[in-house]
Chain A
Amino acid sequence: MEKQILSTSSFSIFLKKYLFPVLLLIAVSGYLFSYFFEQKIILGAENDGAYKVNRIINEIHPDEIALLGSSRCESNYVPGIISHNAFNYGLSGAQDNVLLFFLEEEVKKNKHTPIIINMDPDGLNNPIGDISYYLYNANYPPVKKLLDTLYKFRYVIPFLKYYGSFEIYTKYYLNNKLNVTKITDHGGSFEGGIVTPEKFNVMIKERLESPLDFKNDSVLAVRLRNILIEHPERKFVFVFSPSHWSYMTMLGKIKDLRAFMNELRSYKNVRVFNMSLMPYPDSLFTNTMHLNYTGSKLFSSALRDSLKTTGIIQ
């Protein structure tokens, strides 16, 4: 008798007239919307991390020089200045496990162009940055592996997988098309404004209260060595881009950093450019770790000259 409560017509009417139509409508409209959104917005902005992840996985540009790294790569390297065929794959917030993922994808391609890698002086670390970078390709096995415990079941469901990230994609898209808050150039994204000296002094003060050490994650180091050894046909250029003096002052375990640099130099297919101590004034930085657009242009020109002098690029 009691069990009949759910089998009454009321419940089946609820399913037929309400729940199923709602789910169907959301599924259809969501699928169509996300298809449009992916094609026009996510893949329509070169500075979007999701575009970069998709580009490194699914696109082959034989003459392209890949610039890889974290936010320092994204904001310090102006591709248009370095080379006409350079592309900036830098991802804000992402660290070396992501860098290695990009490297592994890049070396799979049948190419012979140099790969320029921005190395952060604090060493090999693990954060992967914003989850939105990976959602479009979340089910590609290496990406899934990279996400590890961050992977969620909903990433297989169109539309729903972008929940909480639509704004970020739109932001990248608008930045790329309008350059309102940032200046973009082939994947690079640069701060146009200058920070006031008062605000910058606060940043320096905060930096001088935050000691950090060079870290050499052994698992990541092994992965890096393997790539360098297994791909002698590619030239790997490791660059330590300019950091503010306050950042370098607070960096500990410098001996380990030097040892790491020396190890990199020992590979025949590797060149290391240490430009971290270039004496740039405060006005060229947007914070103690990143250059502003003027600083980035200056550094990119210097890097281009070094690359040309050493014959790495023409």
Chain B
Amino acid sequence: MLFNSVEFLIFFPVVTLLYFLLPFKMRWGLLLAASCFFYMFFKPEYILILFFTIIIDYYAGIYLEEIKNPKHRRWFLIASIIANVGVLAVFKYYNFINNNITGIGQYFGFTNHIPYPHMILPIGLSFHTFQAMSYTIEVYRDKQKAERHFGYYALYVMFYPQLVAGPIERPQNILHQLHEKHNFSFENAVHGLNLIVYGLFKKIVIADRLSVYVNQVYGDLGNASTLSVLIACIFFSVQIYCDFSGYSDIARGTAKFMGFDLMLNFNRPYLAQSIGEFWSRWHISLSSWFRDYVYIPLGGNRISKWKWYRNIIIVFMLSGLWHGANWTFVIWGGLHAAYIMFELFTKNIRSKIGDAFNIPGKSLIVIYFNRAVVFIAVTFAWIFFRAKTFDQAMQVIHKLGDLDFSLNLTQLCAEKGPLNLVISFLVIGLLIISYRLPRELKLKHNVAFVTVVTFLIILLGKDGKADFIYFQF
């Protein structure tokens, strides 16, 4: 079920009302049933895959707690991770690996006979797999007690607000909340609705609007000019941010209404002054997952310089692969790794330049300059994220390099007319204005806020139930 659908408009109040009406003991059952319904709305049979990993990790958690022999515990953890990664490998990476085998085979002159089964990627598979893995790892590390109640554990993985696109929660944050009794609270309800409405605004008004131009340009690159490609690249940066952070806002809002606190997933990432800071603001739940479960176990930065760089490359390449089974995603991750390493290499030089010109690090010029550089670098990397193939990404880059700034109205408007372009810039303006609001949307004038934002959604929203980009991951 999509958050931006009429079905959810009915589902959410019904489930929430029932949640507060039911006795506490029955609430987990309601939430689990509602989560199953929510997930099965997409493709019912894939819930079996979800249950497979839930059962594996539920028992893995119990055994990891009960078994004292470190060797055996380690094997249990590995088995559970293999089961989870195995599901991912089959559904997400099988065809990708097979394609690469075919490619290598063609190069060396042999034919690949491994079949290509028709498989659809279960929605949100990477999200709930990672959430499930964080549970077993935390139990293994003795930082989390194993959950003995199967229903609560299943709910931990399936809690509908964050089931298909995160935030990827940690058991320490969410499991105990599932056991707690939440009474209806005015503050939670108002705060939750503020987040939901703002998230819908980001998705329906901004992301879906910008996607019209972006799709048109990427779909007809032959007729695009440098200027139209440049606009499309900038629009995509904003689109993907609003699409994904909008989903996270709605997820946090629906949970908050019922009294649950989900972690902050986006913290105004385009205000970052370095790529390192960008990653502490963008998709926080994923970047912290890789930090805690890959980067630090590999040694983090407390090792030799070259091993440190190796760790950075590994983490970002994996992050790229997590997003999609395509080399374009790996390149996207690789670019970010390169950016980070460039920042590390040039740290001293940059501070020396600043000193030489007597520019204080916190002056407005430096702040805006840094933000612009980060935005340009991130936007460039998004080209590989958005492009369907490597060739398409290169075509976009070539178009940018053509430096064709002719003001052909048809090219500039990407055949959608000037009004669409004007509204696109207008909604970006609205996003910038919304940055003046408190970060957590705890406002004084909640009624005015929700009224105005709802009005804008109806006025400027794109009809048509567009999928969230991150659903495919």
Contacts and interface: CB of A to CB of B under 8 A. Distances in A.
B185 A10 contact: yes
Contact of A170 (B183, B409, B410, B419): B419
Contact of A164 (B20, B23, B462): B462
A33 B458 CA distance: 12
B20 A160 contact: no
B441 to A, nearest CB: 14
B48 interface: no
A93 B462 CA distance: 20
B4 to A, nearest CB: 12
Contact of A26 (B22, B23, B190, B451): B451
Interface in A1-55: 2-3, 5-6, 8, 10-11, 13-14, 17-18, 21-22, 25-26, 29-30, 33
Contact of B184 (A8, A17, A166, A171): A8
Given A14-B190, A18-B189, A25-B447, A6 B184 contact: yes
Interface in B392-428: 409-410, 417-420, 423
A14 B22 CA distance: 19
Contacts of B417: 171, 181
A174 B420 CA distance: 13
Given A8-B183, A171-B417, A174-B419, A164 B455 contact: no
A133 to B, nearest CB: 15
B458 A160 contact: yes
Given A11-B184, A164-B464, A170-B419, A5 B458 contact: no
Contacts of B184: 5-6, 8, 10-11, 14
Interface of A is mostly: helix
B52 interface: no
Given A30-B455, A159-B458, A163-B463, A6 B21 contact: yes
B446 A18 contact: yes
Nearest to A9: B186
Nearest to B212: A167
B454 interface: yes
A6 B13 CA distance: 13
A167 B420 CA distance: 8
Contacts of A180: 418
A58 to B, nearest CB: 26
A241 B279 CA distance: 60
Nearest to B189: A14
B459 interface: yes
Contacts of A22: 447, 450-451, 454
A10 B280 CA distance: 37
A29 B189 contact: no
A166 B189 CA distance: 31
Contact of B418 (A30, A159, A181): A181
B254 to A, nearest CB: 16
A2 B454 CA distance: 33
Nearest to B446: A18
A159 B459 CA distance: 8
Contacts of B23: 2
B363 to A, nearest CB: 42
A2 B24 contact: yes
Given A3-B21, A30-B455, A167 B423 contact: yes
A12 to B, nearest CB: 10
A29 B240 CA distance: 31
Contacts of B418: 180-181
Contacts of A13: 186
Contacts of B451: 22, 25-26, 29
A3 B223 CA distance: 63
Contacts of A125: none
Contacts of B183: 5, 8, 10
A165 interface: yes
A164 B204 CA distance: 10
A200 to B, nearest CB: 13
Nearest to A25: B451
B461 interface: yes
Contacts of B450: 18, 22
A11 B21 CA distance: 12
A8 B410 CA distance: 59
B460 interface: yes
A174 B183 CA distance: 52
A2 B417 CA distance: 57
Given A2-B24, A171-B417, A164 B461 contact: yes
Interface in A114-168: 159-160, 162-167
Contacts of B420: 167
Which of B21, B186, B223, B454 has most A Cβ within 10 Å? Answer: B186
Nearest to B17: A6
Contacts of A162: 458
Nearest to B449: A22
A4 to B, nearest CB: 10
Contacts of A11: 20, 184, 186
Contacts of B185: 10
Nearest to B27: A2
Contacts of A3: 21
B190 to A, nearest CB: 6
B137 to A, nearest CB: 36
Contacts of B458: 30, 159-160, 162-163
Nearest to B459: A166
Nearest to B208: A164
A25 B223 CA distance: 46
Contacts of B446: 18
A48 B410 CA distance: 22
Contacts of B186: 10-11, 13-14, 17-18
B20 A6 contact: yes
Contacts of A199: 223
A160 B22 CA distance: 33
Contacts of A21: 447
Contacts of B410: 193
Interface of B: 17, 20-24, 183-186, 189-190, 193, 223, 409-410, 417-420, 423, 446-447, 450-451, 454-455, 458-464
Given A14-B189, A18-B189, 6 more contacts: A5-B21, A18-B186, A164-B461, A166-B460, A167-B423, A170-B419
20 contacts: A2-B22, A6-B21, A6-B184, A10-B183, A10-B185, A17-B447, A18-B189, A21-B447, A22-B447, A26-B451, A29-B451, A30-B458, A33-B459, A162-B458, A163-B458, A163-B461, A164-B461, A167-B423, A167-B460, A181-B417
- In order of increasing CB-CB distance, the 4 nearest A-B pairs are A164-B463, A2-B23, A25-B451, A10-B186
